[in-house]
Amino acid sequence: MHDIVYFKGNFYVLSMGNELYVVDFESKPKLIEVGPQVSIEGCPAQRYLIDFNGNLLLLERFCECVEEKKEELLNVTVGFNVMEPNLEENILYEWHHLDDFAVFLGKNSSIYVNSNHFPKCKTNGIYFTHPTYSFSAEKFGCHDLGVFDMTNKMISKFYSDEEFHPLVGSPVWLTPNPW
């Protein structure tokens, strides 16, 4: 499973086969396919589901391998796609902006905030942390953290080099006032 999210009274699941399901808890719990199969060009490293301001969104994270040292490769994030599945028409709509919001991605824990309420938060940005399931995380710590700007398609750090300490395990987002 790529991700799961609670949205409008239902649990939605994005499978490793890129099908979107809703969990039916009526008699025996079962998965019912409800949306289009995600088959966008490229090979995303991770996919996320999020309840974004009343819309179900699918975010795809793209990575590339870079050589850190001789014979040592690291995956680094190079971009994102943001889409909204239309469950009635069985199609995906691509989003190009998040307006005054920022998204914070995590495995089964993605959130969004109104960046006007957080002066240092990048508007129209996607904050991400390093996934822990890769070999490079075990060997090098969590190195792939940043914010993707949906306006200019650029990635920047949200920390200074002096503040950064490689971690083992995935960082978590702390919110000052949940919802």
pLDDT, tens digit, 9 for 90 and up, residues 46-88: 889 999 999 999 998 888 877 665 556 677 889 999 999 988 8
Instruction: Tell me, yes or no, whether 105 lies in a domain.
Output: yes
Stated pTM of the model: 0.80
Instruction: Tell me, yes or no, whether 102 lies in a domain.
Output: yes
The span from the CA of 150 to the CA of 124, in Å, is 6
Residue 34: left (phi > 0), alpha (psi -120 to 50), or beta? alpha
Do residues 71 and 54 touch, judged by C-beta distance below 8 A? Answer: no
Instruction: Tell me, yes or no, whether 113 lies in a domain.
Output: yes
Instruction: Tell me, yes or no, whether 163 lies in a domain.
Output: no
- Kindly list the distances between the CA atom of residue 109 and the CA atoms of 65, 74, 87, 99, 170, in Å, as whole numbers in the listed order: 26, 24, 22, 21, 12
Instruction: Tell me, yes or no, whether 173 lies in a domain.
Output: no
Instruction: Tell me, yes or no, whether 166 lies in a domain.
Output: no
Instruction: Answer positive or negative: Cα dihedral of 132, 50, 43, 63.
Output: negative
Q: Which domain holds residue 32?
A: 3-156
pLDDT, the chain, mean: 79
How many domains, the chain? 1
The per-residue pLDDT for 108 is 63
63: tokens are 């990575």
The per-residue pLDDT for 136 is 46
Do residues 105 and 48 touch, judged by C-beta distance below 8 A? Answer: yes
Share of the chain above pLDDT 70, in %: 70
